[in-house]
Amino acid sequence: MMSVLFSYKKSITVVGDAHYPPFTFLDDKGNPQGYVVDIWKLWSKKTGIKVVHKLMRWEDAFGMVKLGKTDMIDSLLYSEEQDRFFDFSKPFSKVRSLEDLRGYSVGVQIGDYAVTYLKKHMPELSLRFFDSY
């Protein structure tokens, strides 16, 4: 469906958070990287429509889409309130709760609040620690 909507365009602009690893972040050279960026690259390859990915402060990205200054925003969490203003795609992550992590090793950044939260709410979870994202 999304391909049909953009079939008349040669490119689309997608904005997102520059500090949301591993989903979206800027590398050392300022280039967009991450899981979501990779998904958009694959979509672009399959549709032939160029994707211009612009990563910035989340507040700025959210503001751009609300003002109609971009085609899309990535990694927007669903809520009933936001559903009134935005069209949502199907989720690309099957993780909906901590229970969905059971049986997996979960990577966390040393010192991140996620470590404390996961140890408190799911102490049996297997954590793998990393210096950075």
Residue 90: what pLDDT?
A: 83
pLDDT digits 0-9 by tens, 28-75: 999 999 999 999 999 999 999 999 999 999 899 989 988 999 999 998
Instruction: Report DSSP state, residue 121.
Output: H
Residue 1: what pLDDT?
A: 45
Q: Which contiguous run of DSSP H or E holds residue 105?
A: strand 105-109
- Concatenating the DSSP letter of every residue in 19-59 gives EETTTEEE-TTS-EESHHHHHHHHHHHHH--EEEEEEE-HH
Residue 89: what pLDDT?
A: 84
Nearest Cα neighbor of 48 from 9, 15, 18, 14 is 9
Average pLDDT across the chain, whole number? 88
Q: Can you tell me the distance from the alpha carbon of 24 to that of 7, in angstroms, rounded to the nearest whole number?
A: 25
pLDDT digits 0-9 by tens, 11-31: 999 999 999 888 899 999 999
pLDDT digits 0-9 by tens, 84-96: 888 888 887 788 8
pLDDT-above-90 percentage for the chain:
53
Q: What is the pTM of this model?
A: 0.69
Nearest Cα neighbor of 36 from 25, 48, 28 is 25
Residue 48: what pLDDT?
A: 92
